[in-house]
Structure 1
């Protein structure tokens, strides 16, 4: 199958040829015909399978055909893509601009942590496609700098992540400003009942498509688990990277403080490392990402704010220095590698206190995950875990729910 079979405009086909896009990925082959037919769609597929092109290519074709795009045409926002994080907003906007390079369509990227003035100026000139985080889009709606009354296409990208971060309130307010007569698409790596319950009210008889089972880890990612004490995790990370001569290694932590601390210590080990998280300025985050992509940085330490916003096609290695509190985040973390059918390696370091988090991941994946003991880094089994048998599963979940909600509220303020 080729892209020409979708009967895209010649301009769009020329762009795809220039980009060396020859055959659609499985999710593109399933989604594009439905979108071109005007259907609402709920689609799930692993990250790195071409989800952005799956919804953006047909949208570009449809709004170009709809508007006819003449020199005298007055620009209006025809397509809106809502995303949970700044990094993902930039990634989707950049891809959209690439697909629009031979058309007259303009793309605006709206996210928090950046000066709102330049965004207002760009919107005032007129744009066709808006990619935005919910909080910043709502700021523009309140200020009257964006008009969604002509919207024909609405995309929820990584909807589960937006709900997990507590954006449902902002999304409901945004939905009051979009027309009823529109096409609505939901694309995500995972689609569960919570997502369907909250978002299905905005879709009309959606077609459900997918190329793999929800909540599964990328098929070509080798998953390794090592049991190790917390205080020896940094040492094991440095040993593993150095011994295997790995470059471009993405390391995930749960907290910003540990991300900064780990980056500092890995630099002392001779590994050029930077940390990115919600407290870093957007400029600092962009600079670190660019240095990581071009090979100036060997290691990038990130909190889950970057779990879905990074797009590094050549990334081969992911290390979980700490397991996430939300099991679904494990899937998104390791999905940074093994993209577009390529092989990858994901290593997770599991301390005695994190065994219950590993159990949550096992339930999600419906798979038994047994940590290995690496010679020289064997865990100390004589110590008592912090979450001992006196703490029931219920009390642990209640405590961690409060902690997770606190983290979500902080992330919402950052986007």
Structure 2
């Protein structure tokens, strides 16, 4: 048989092979994130080095960026023909479900350590920051679960948010942010020229106020039980959780619980800051904003951080198709690309001059030099218009 005959004979069989998710058995690595307090305690006990209590910030801001640098990015997409099969595979759902029991085991463990271990203050602080990273990543897990139609996943989303005291995120993100994303009206979309430190109070207060307005409007339509208030229920879950932990371990844990919650929701908001910086949807002829598409979110295809964050960094596809599950999110060539994964970019965002030096030119280039198309910060608008008009 000739070579040509072999090729033509075997090609159809190769094409008939079902597509395989090469990362299928790597997705459970995401459950290492909520286990960080246990890992830090074990390493500190084994080595006597108190710095291990700071393992959360170490992993997020040092180890994860290094792994992203080593393993790089991947732009491979699952075939659209495989989407239904992938999303029906409950294995991927259980990977997200497993995050929650580990998250809450870590929270109880941290309270036990704060109450009973005689640690120096800097070790207690490191443990609080590590638990704060867990609560911040838990908001990402809540984000993945909260977009789904199944009631069990929506309730798990609310439970995941309780440790960060940010339960109103469930309302604001789904009914507010996804409607107004990449517009000046969205408190969670950062503007060109706006520093993270200016964005943080605006988004925290703006998201809280918007969520309350959205829930009030929902309750004004039809008859609702007094208990049918999604924000009050979410806050009650946090209150019950914190009261139970204080009752079990004493008032000594309360300041640390508050600190880890603040760290958790601050991580969420710094991620919000870098996901839409300077991007703006255009207006249609009727005055309404155009439909959200992959051009309106910053994307990052870095392999390791996407594995640990349920592909949150493929944010462009998520906003264009909010119901897609993490295992089916895609890379789009037209999406603006961050120069690195979230771990690195969070650090950069904390230093506004460095952030502006890296990201401002990318925003302007995304709009082919026409800065008037960007979501400009009102306080710096004239300065940016003058600068880039000259350019």
With the length of structure 1 as denominator, give the TM-score of the two structures.
0.29
> Which of structures 1 and 2 has the larger relative contact order (alpha carbons within 8 angstroms, sep 6+)?
2
- Which of the two has greater helix per residue? 2
- Which of the two has greater strand per residue? 1
